[in-house]
Each structure stands twice: as C-alpha cells, then as structure tokens.
Chain A
C-alpha cells in the first residue's frame, strides 16, 4: 500500500500540526515537515518504476456494485505533480515559518496547508473519477479555508467565498461530466476511461460531457471568463498564494485537461474550446497584468495568463505542444512560486505591495532583489532561464497548427503580442520595484529578511537557472515520462535546447522582448488610455448576480415554506395521491387471481366495530376525550384482526402498546385543551374530506390488488431454517432476534433515542397546570383511589411473573422481549397510576436512562460476542443441555439479545410515561389558568 501512504501521510501531517499549538514555532514547523518529507522520500523510492514506463496501481473495492473503489494510480504525469506538490509544499511551509507573525496561528495555517496538500495528492493519484472528484471538492474547501485564513479581514472572507462559489460550482459541472463519462464507458475507473477514446467520442453525449469537464477545469484554472476569482484570492497570506497559484490549486484544472487528454482530445470541439479559451485568457490577462499596481495583483494576472498559455498548448493538440505544456507546467511552478515568495518578503519588510510606493528597493535588499529579478526574467522568457525554453517551444508550436483555417497565422501573432505584454509586466515588476527612484512613504524601513526566509527562493531560482542552462540533464526524464502519460503512448522525439539556430521562434522571442520593453517604456500612454476606459469590474458583476440569486431563492423559499404545517402536509398528501394513484390507472385489473376467502360473522362484527371506531374518532374529534376512546376501539380491533389472521405475536404487541398509548394520550390530554375549537371553514373541511377520501380509496385499492394476488415470498427460507438454524419454533421471534437481529438492534436504538428526546423535551417545561377541566369542574381531591392502590400492589408480582413467562417462551411460542417488556412496563405504570410518582420515587430509585443504555449494550455485546468465535456480527448460537430435575433445556445466545430488547423496551416505555407523569407531581400547587 505504498501509493495510499503518500496522501495519507500528508493527511496525518495535517492532523499532527493541528495539535501542535503548545510547541514553539520551530518545533511546529519541524513537526509539520516530517510527513511530507517521508512522503517525498517514498515517492522518490518508487519513482524508478514509473520512469521505466510502468504505471503503478493499487485498489481496494469499496462498494463494487456502485463502481466505487478506493483506487490509486501513479504514472508519469501524476509523479510530476506529486513531486511539485510535495516539493513546493515543503518549501512553502518552511517559508511560512518566517512569514507568519507572532499573532497568526501557525498550527491553523499548517494544518490547512497539509489538508490542501492531501487533496491535491488525491486528485493527481486517483484511479477512480468519483474519488478524484471528491478530492477535487476537497481542494475547493481547503483553499476556501486557506484564503480566508485572516478571517477578520472582509476582503479575505469575500475572496474566499468567491473562490469557493466559482470553483465549487465548476466542481459540480465536473461531477456531472464525470458521471456522463462513467455512464458512456460503463466504469468509473480512470484506466478504463482513458482507454475508451473511440467509444466516448462516438457517443452522442460526448459534447455534453466534454463541456462539463472543461467547465470544471476552466473554473479551477481561472480561465477567461472565470478568471475573476483568482485576483481576489490574493487576500490570502502570501505563502498560501505561492502554493495555490503556482504549483497546485490552479494547476489542478490544467492537470485535469492533461489527465483526460487521451480520452477527450482530438476533436474539433476540443480545439475550439480549449485552444480559444487558452488564447483569450493568455492575451487578456497579460494585458491586464501590466496595469495592476498591487504586486500580487500583477502576479495573479500573470498566473492567469500563463495558465492560458498552457491551456492553449493543450488545445493545439500536437504531440510536441503537449510536451511544451508539461514543460511549462514545471517552469511556471518554479518561477511563480519564487516570485510570490519574493513579493511576500517585500510586503513583509516594507509593509506595502503597492508599486507606486515601492521604488528603489535594490539599495535596501540587494540579495532578494537579485533573486526576484532572475525569477521575473524567467517569467518574461529571457534566455538561459527555464521560462525561455518552454516559451520557445510554445512559439514554435503556434506555427504548426491549423486551428483557424486560413486565419491560423493569427495565433502566432497574438502569441507574440501576449509574449510582449508578459515581458512588459515582468519589466515593470523589476524596474518599478527595485529601481525607479526612491520609495514613497513606506510604512516600514525596508531591510533584508531573515536569512532562512530566502532559502526556499534560492532553491527555486537555482532550479530556474539549472533547467534553463542544462535542460536535458535535469528535466529530460520526468518531462518525457509525464508527456508520454498525457499522450497515452510514447513521447514524441523532441529536443530541448538553448540554441536551435536562427529560426522563426527565436525571431518571435526577440520581437516579444523588444516589444515588451518598448511597451514598458511607453507605459504612460497606455495607462492614460486604460484610465479613460469605463471600469469593468468582474467582482461587481459577480456580487450582483450572487445577490440576485439569493434574493430570488429567498423569495421562492418564503413562498413555499410559509410556516404552515397544514399546508406542507396537504401538499405532501397530494403528491402521494398523484404518485401512488397514477399507476393504478395503468393497471388492467384491480382484482388478482387468488381465490377470495369468505366473510364470516366474526370478521364482519370486528370490521364493523373498527369502522365505527374510526368514523367516531373523526366525528367527535372536537371532544378530545371521546375521540381518544374511539381510537382505542380501533386499536383493539386491529389487535383482534391480528389474532384472527394468524399473527399472535402481533396481537399481543398491539394490545400492550395500545394500553400504553392510551394511558400516555390521556395523560397528555391533561396538559392540552380538552376541546378542539371549530375553526376550519366549510370549504377547507370539504377539501380535506376530498383529499383524505381519495388517498383512502387509492391505498385501499392497492391493498385489495395486493392481497388478491398470489404470494411469492422469501419466507420459506425462514420457516425452513428457524428450528435448525435459529433454534426456535416461533418463526416471527426467530426472525426478530436472529435472522434480522441487526434491524431489531437498530429499532431498539431508535426507541431509546425517542425516549431520551422526550426526557429532554420535558426538562424545564413551563408549567400550565389546569385547575379544572374545560367545563369548569375542579379535579378530584383524592388523587389515588384506595381500591386501585391495593389491587395493583398485589397484581405487580403476578404481572412480572407473566411477563417473565412470556419472555422465556418467546423463542418457541408467541411472546418475546418486546411483548414481555411492554407487559412489565404496564405493570409498573399501573403502580404509578395507583400511587403517584412521588410514592414510587420513595421506594424505587431507578435511572431509566441507564436501563435503556444497558439494554442496548446487552444486545450490542451479544452481537459483538460472536466476533470472539470468528463469526460475523450477531451470529447466534444455541445448544441443548440436560439439567437434572429440570430436564432438557435449550440455551441460545438469541435469548441474551432478547433480554437486551426487553430491558430497552421497559426502560424506554417507563421513561416516557414516568417523565410526563413526574411533571404533574412536581407541579406547584397554585392554580394557573389558561
């Protein structure tokens, strides 16, 4: 499980650093750096196989039926990103140690950074597209946390929200796209999808899937017109920007394009969408970058522009363009990360990032200035630096495409223009900050930063230089491996070199450099022109649309959710009516083929009583006591019906539950008005009669259709195995405690939760004890009738004996834990009724919560116990024993489970009733009217 460990280690690092609050700053940093270093070592350790062309895979089935698996995959492209994510991540953490002030929480930043690192590693290493998507969303969420790190600043919160809205929204589009891909291919496995190019591109949904996936990639990589979130994300601390906007977050979108390149690329639609989006972004952002006065703003737009360049390269769809794209991914990560870090130093040491104030920094921090200038030169594409090489390749590739037919010459021209602007803003970065006169009222006196703060920049700048001068020595292995992974085959013959002779690309580079410097020197006129344009503020457009969407949905929500339970229920019933009733009209015949049984007199009388009870409840529902009694008639008849139709267990349960329910409702009635006022209008009553009769007719018809058809049941299995497998002859009970014991465990847990909820609801109940009933008659003074008191006391042991008997015989004859528990509870409730809860409290100190807990615990432990014998959860066991005098008896583990059920039922039932009863006992004696 080597692959799994790479993201896992960084996740462990995230948790570790979040607990490092007590450590010193150096210790926290060291602790955080441990796991990414191990992960990097691990990645290096396994890399030779990848360099040799192997694809490493690891997977564990999770829910195979849904195509869900935990699958990791490491090919050249993934390896390149793993190196970048871990390498630059380590440098950023080291850098952040010196960047953060004493006030900022270091564990918070580090744990978010590591969480983000985990998510990025997950994206690049996933071999299942759904898993990839989950990590994708995790980057959105963790970048939200990172951007809003300084949550006290409103711009940080707004920037984070905007980033989350745009990238999260794109993530949803991506999910839809991936689901369509999975649907087309029939698998969510990345390997399978990447090998199904022909199948995918021949499918009718290809265009839809492509556009959705591209939406995900473009929002993440800040491509025009979704670019506007990235400049606002600059409200984050600079180490975060250095990480997110050089090597990771925004590169995730590029990674996605590269990852799906073998399956999705190669069509005209891909050319047009990817190529033109990239070109527009490249040009537009390079132009805008020049006018940003904020250093990070300039870098933000430059990032957007470079991402556009990579996107365009992937859209050009030649093999060499793809190699150039991969190469530029590496180069951009190195020079942009170092530039962000240098900006962080300048900001840190001067207190501002405004280029109108920052001038002449060369004198104050010559060393940092040199590093920043080298990195900026790489960004501009100056020879001997890595940026030059990939830009040369880019220029060369723009010449060999036919994207726009006869107008294809436009692309190299526009690319050169964009190159010129990129030189211009790089020149501005260098000249405006480090030279150009004296600084203008800086908040701080600038000086060089702490020694070690520069180390990460030195490493990255050294990389820029080494790659720029000796490309084949340093970069060739990873470049060709990663490119062949993108292309889904062998990498083409390419030649990275400083000197290709005098050719067109070199000329384009020359024009770009000269043009850029010209633009920079003449920038005054451009700035004037730019100032004369009406301001186009993408943020305002975004804010307005968000505001309008929120307003619109609030309006809709208040229209739908108006606080009326009656209306909700009415609407729900209407939906039920339509969805349940509709299929009935498509059924040919209601009555099925089963021979009907005769109606005998008993059934007739029972049904008549049930109907009278039901109708009586409705008729007298304004007089609550009467309607309650009518309901009890219905309940009783239901239990009679169960008896009649061969369900003795159900009948016993229904009977006992009925008793408890009616007692509870009578008790509840004490706290509620005795009468329901007549307030529904006649139309309302008519409408409700209509709805309820229609539902009744539909449900009754479904019931009739069902029971007149022959039965095809799985129950033969239960009947055949109850005795041999479960050791009991009462099949219903064996199902409850054995075959479907897990269900029962869930059910008693629900019962316990309900009882606890009731207990909580009754705490601190504001009392409103009525002094008399609704007719104005005072309640009886003798609260506990003597006769009942004496009888109930002598009944108690008898009742307990009966419940014990019912419990024991449950496995073989009707009975069991549920019923026995209810009988016990009723016996105790009778004591409460006869004596009052104070009387009971004096004699019995029972904590019902503990009883419920112990009941569930017993049932749970019985289930866990089977693990000790190497069996699955809740496997039951039984055997027969010969005991002298008593004879042969059967012992089953299911009995212990049933005991848990019994205890839970007793505890929960008593807790519900006793809690409510106790409220009356505690009531103050003064009368409160209502």
Chain B
C-alpha cells in the first residue's frame, strides 16, 4: 500500500507541476491546488499510514501520529486562502491587463490567433 500511496503522491506532483508550467492563469491555479493536495498528502504520510487508529483517546489501542495531522489541517485551510488569493489575482490581472497569460502579455503568435 505504501508503494501505491507514494505513486499517488508522485502522480499528483507531476500533474500539478505540469499545470503550473502552463501559460494561462487558470491551469496554473488548478496546478497549485493539485500540488497542495500532493504536499498535504506527503506531509500527512510523515506520520506513516495507519488504519483504524484515529487519534481520539479511548477509541483505539494504538494511535496514529496526531502531529502531522494537526499541521496538515491548518495547511489545508491556508492552502484554500492561498488558492483564493491567486485566483482573485488572476481575475484582477485579466481585468487590468486584458488577457490571462501568466507573463502578462499575449505572445505575438497568439495575438493574431486571438483576433481571428
């Protein structure tokens, strides 16, 4: 199962990074979201994978590591705030610059395409 888990994390990182390297804002935002899933899963797994050992006292014999969980919990919320900020920035950028290219301007090739 560890192998499967690590593969999932690796795949999420791959997809996230690929999307972040795209030229338009929206895929970049999706890529960031994906990458933050991967990072959260990665950090969470530093407490190792445990089945049926939720860290609620009195509900199990042994407990999963609660510390990474607490850290990831706030990371999820902060991640949301970050995603929200970036996406609003993308909207504002498009409103001010007139396009949604991450470099702030259409490349010359696309300008002609956009007009057509």
To the question of whether A and B form a pair in one complex, the answer is yes
User: Is A732 an interface residue, CB under 8 A from the partner?
Assistant: yes
User: Is A123 an interface residue, CB under 8 A from the partner?
Assistant: no
Q: When the two chains form their complex, are residues B88 and A614 in contact, meaning their CB atoms are under 8 A apart?
A: no
User: Is A638 an interface residue, CB under 8 A from the partner?
Assistant: yes
**Residue B56 contacts which of A564, A657, A676, A813 (CB distance < 8 angstroms)?**
A813
User: Is A597 an interface residue, CB under 8 A from the partner?
Assistant: yes
Chain A, interface SS category: helix
Q: When the two chains form their complex, are residues B14 and A695 in contact, meaning their CB atoms are under 8 A apart?
A: yes
CB-CB under 8 A from A93, the residues of chain B are none
Q: How far is the CA of A641 from the CA of B33 in the complex (A)?
A: 17
CB-CB under 8 A from A621, the residues of chain B are 19, 22, 27, 30
Q: Which residue of B lies closest to A697 (CB)?
A: B10
Q: When the two chains form their complex, are residues A711 and B65 in contact, meaning their CB atoms are under 8 A apart?
A: yes
Q: How far is the CA of A697 from the CA of B40 in the complex (A)?
A: 17
CB-CB under 8 A from B109, the residues of chain A are 679
CB-CB under 8 A from B102, the residues of chain A are 565-566
Contacts of B16-32 to chain A: CB distance below 8 A: 16-30
Q: When the two chains form their complex, are residues B66 and A719 in contact, meaning their CB atoms are under 8 A apart?
A: yes
Q: Which residue of A lies closest to B5 (CB)?
A: A707
Q: When the two chains form their complex, are residues B87 and A627 in contact, meaning their CB atoms are under 8 A apart?
A: no
User: Is A153 an interface residue, CB under 8 A from the partner?
Assistant: no
Given contacts A627-B27, A644-B51, A645-B44, contact A701 B6 (CB under 8 A): yes
Q: How far is the CB of B10 from chain A (nearest CB, A)?
A: 2
CB-CB under 8 A from A566, the residues of chain B are 21-23, 102-103
Q: Which residue of B lies closest to A600 (CB)?
A: B1
**Residue A699 contacts which of B10, B22, B67, B70 (CB distance < 8 angstroms)?**
B10
Q: Which residue of B lies closest to A812 (CB)?
A: B56
Contacts of A707-763 to chain B: CB distance below 8 A: 707-708, 711, 713-715, 718-719, 722-723, 729-733, 735-736, 740, 743-744, 747, 750-751, 754-755, 757-758, 761-762
Q: Which residue of A lies closest to B46 (CB)?
A: A706
CB-CB under 8 A from A916, the residues of chain B are 88, 91
Contacts of A654-705 to chain B: CB distance below 8 A: 654, 657, 660-661, 664-665, 668-669, 671-673, 676-677, 679-680, 688-689, 691-693, 695-697, 699-701, 703-704
Chain B, interface SS category: helix
Contacts of A906-926 to chain B: CB distance below 8 A: 908-909, 912, 916
User: Is A390 an interface residue, CB under 8 A from the partner?
Assistant: no
Q: When the two chains form their complex, are residues B63 and A677 in contact, meaning their CB atoms are under 8 A apart?
A: no
> Please, what's the 1-or-0 string for A589-627, where 1 marks a CB less than 8 Å from any CB in chain B?
000001011111001100100110011011001001001
Q: How far is the CA of A729 from the CA of B65 in the complex (A)?
A: 14
CB-CB under 8 A from B94, the residues of chain A are 671-672, 768
Q: How far is the CB of A592 from chain B (nearest CB, A)?
A: 9
**Residue A563 contacts which of B40, B42, B44, B104 (CB distance < 8 angstroms)?**
B104
User: Is A765 an interface residue, CB under 8 A from the partner?
Assistant: yes
CB-CB under 8 A from B50, the residues of chain A are 645-646
Contacts of B59-116 to chain A: CB distance below 8 A: 63-67, 69-70, 72-74, 76-85, 87-92, 94-96, 100, 102-104, 107, 109-110, 113-114
Q: When the two chains form their complex, are residues B78 and A680 in contact, meaning their CB atoms are under 8 A apart?
A: no
Binds B, one of A30-38, A101-109, A188-196, A628-636: A628-636
| Count of chain A residues with a beta carbon within 8 Å of a chain B beta carbon | 112
Q: How far is the CA of A894 from the CA of B14 in the complex (A)?
A: 40
User: Is A133 an interface residue, CB under 8 A from the partner?
Assistant: no
Q: When the two chains form their complex, are residues A707 and B49 in contact, meaning their CB atoms are under 8 A apart?
A: yes
Residue from A646, A711, A729 whose CB has the most chain B CB atoms within 10 Å: A646
Q: When the two chains form their complex, are residues A747 and B70 in contact, meaning their CB atoms are under 8 A apart?
A: no
Given contacts A603-B4, A618-B15, A672-B25, contact A653 B76 (CB under 8 A): yes
User: Is A804 an interface residue, CB under 8 A from the partner?
Assistant: no
Q: Which residue of B lies closest to A657 (CB)?
A: B80
Q: When the two chains form their complex, are residues A646 and B3 in contact, meaning their CB atoms are under 8 A apart?
A: no
CB-CB under 8 A from A610, the residues of chain B are 8, 11-12
Q: How far is the CB of A903 from chain B (nearest CB, A)?
A: 14
Q: When the two chains form their complex, are residues B33 and A714 in contact, meaning their CB atoms are under 8 A apart?
A: no
Size range of the interface on B?
35 or more
Q: When the two chains form their complex, are residues A599 and B91 in contact, meaning their CB atoms are under 8 A apart?
A: no
Q: How far is the CB of A736 from chain B (nearest CB, A)?
A: 5
Given contacts A618-B18, A673-B100, A736-B73, contact A599 B1 (CB under 8 A): yes
CB-CB under 8 A from B89, the residues of chain A are 761
Q: How far is the CB of B89 from chain A (nearest CB, A)?
A: 7
Q: When the two chains form their complex, are residues A617 and B15 in contact, meaning their CB atoms are under 8 A apart?
A: yes
CB-CB under 8 A from B40, the residues of chain A are 638, 654
Q: When the two chains form their complex, are residues B15 and A688 in contact, meaning their CB atoms are under 8 A apart?
A: no
Q: How far is the CB of A815 from chain B (nearest CB, A)?
A: 10
Q: When the two chains form their complex, are residues A706 and B47 in contact, meaning their CB atoms are under 8 A apart?
A: no
User: Is A569 an interface residue, CB under 8 A from the partner?
Assistant: yes
**Residue B110 contacts which of A570, A615, A679, A912 (CB distance < 8 angstroms)?**
A679
Given contacts A635-B37, A765-B91, contact A708 B2 (CB under 8 A): yes
Q: When the two chains form their complex, are residues A660 and B90 in contact, meaning their CB atoms are under 8 A apart?
A: no
CB-CB under 8 A from A713, the residues of chain B are 47, 65, 67
User: Is A83 an interface residue, CB under 8 A from the partner?
Assistant: no
CB-CB under 8 A from B113, the residues of chain A are 677, 679
User: Is A767 an interface residue, CB under 8 A from the partner?
Assistant: yes
Q: How far is the CA of A644 from the CA of B102 in the complex (A)?
A: 38
Q: When the two chains form their complex, are residues B44 and A723 in contact, meaning their CB atoms are under 8 A apart?
A: no
Q: When the two chains form their complex, are residues B77 and A668 in contact, meaning their CB atoms are under 8 A apart?
A: no
Q: Which residue of B lies closest to A673 (CB)?
A: B100
Contacts of A431-484 to chain B: CB distance below 8 A: none
**Residue A695 contacts which of B17, B34, B37, B51 (CB distance < 8 angstroms)?**
B17
**Residue B13 contacts which of A689, A696, A818 (CB distance < 8 angstroms)?**
A696
Q: How far is the CB of A568 from chain B (nearest CB, A)?
A: 10
Q: When the two chains form their complex, are residues B80 and A661 in contact, meaning their CB atoms are under 8 A apart?
A: yes
Q: Which residue of A lies closest to B64 (CB)?
A: A646
Given contacts A673-B100, A736-B70, contact A628 B21 (CB under 8 A): no
Q: How far is the CB of A626 from chain B (nearest CB, A)?
A: 11
CB-CB under 8 A from B54, the residues of chain A are 646-648, 814
User: Is A650 an interface residue, CB under 8 A from the partner?
Assistant: yes
Q: How far is the CB of B30 from chain A (nearest CB, A)?
A: 5
Q: When the two chains form their complex, are residues A696 and B67 in contact, meaning their CB atoms are under 8 A apart?
A: no
User: Is A766 an interface residue, CB under 8 A from the partner?
Assistant: yes
Q: How far is the CA of A813 from the CA of B51 in the complex (A)?
A: 17
Given contacts A628-B30, A704-B6, A711-B47, contact A732 B73 (CB under 8 A): yes
**Residue B66 contacts which of A603, A688, A718, A818 (CB distance < 8 angstroms)?**
A718
Q: When the two chains form their complex, are residues A672 and B55 in contact, meaning their CB atoms are under 8 A apart?
A: no
Q: When the two chains form their complex, are residues B88 and A603 in contact, meaning their CB atoms are under 8 A apart?
A: no
Q: When the two chains form their complex, are residues A818 and B46 in contact, meaning their CB atoms are under 8 A apart?
A: no
CB-CB under 8 A from A295, the residues of chain B are none
CB-CB under 8 A from B91, the residues of chain A are 668, 671-672, 762, 765, 916
User: Is A642 an interface residue, CB under 8 A from the partner?
Assistant: yes
Can you list the 4 inter-chain pairs with the closest CB atoms, starting with the nearest?
A700-B10, A696-B14, A704-B6, A692-B17
For the A-B complex with A719-B57, A730-B57 known, give 14 more contacts whose Cβ atoms are closer than 8 Å: A597-B49, A610-B8, A618-B15, A638-B37, A647-B64, A653-B77, A692-B13, A696-B15, A700-B13, A707-B5, A732-B69, A747-B74, A757-B85, A765-B95
- The 26 sampled A-B contact pairs (Cβ below 8 Å) are A566-B22, A614-B11, A617-B34, A646-B50, A647-B44, A647-B64, A653-B73, A653-B76, A672-B90, A677-B114, A679-B110, A680-B23, A688-B22, A692-B18, A699-B9, A699-B42, A700-B10, A703-B9, A703-B45, A713-B47, A713-B67, A719-B57, A735-B67, A750-B81, A751-B78, A762-B88
Where the two chains meet, the residues of A that have a C-beta atom closer than 8 Å to any C-beta of B are: 563-566, 569-570, 573, 594, 596-600, 603-604, 607, 610-611, 614-615, 617-618, 621, 624, 627-628, 631, 634-635, 638, 641-642, 644-650, 653-654, 657, 660-661, 664-665, 668-669, 671-673, 676-677, 679-680, 688-689, 691-693, 695-697, 699-701, 703-704, 706-708, 711, 713-715, 718-719, 722-723, 729-733, 735-736, 740, 743-744, 747, 750-751, 754-755, 757-758, 761-762, 765-768, 812-814, 818, 822, 905, 908-909, 912, 916
Where the two chains meet, the residues of B that have a C-beta atom closer than 8 Å to any C-beta of A are: 1-30, 33-34, 37-38, 40-42, 44-58, 63-67, 69-70, 72-74, 76-85, 87-92, 94-96, 100, 102-104, 107, 109-110, 113-114
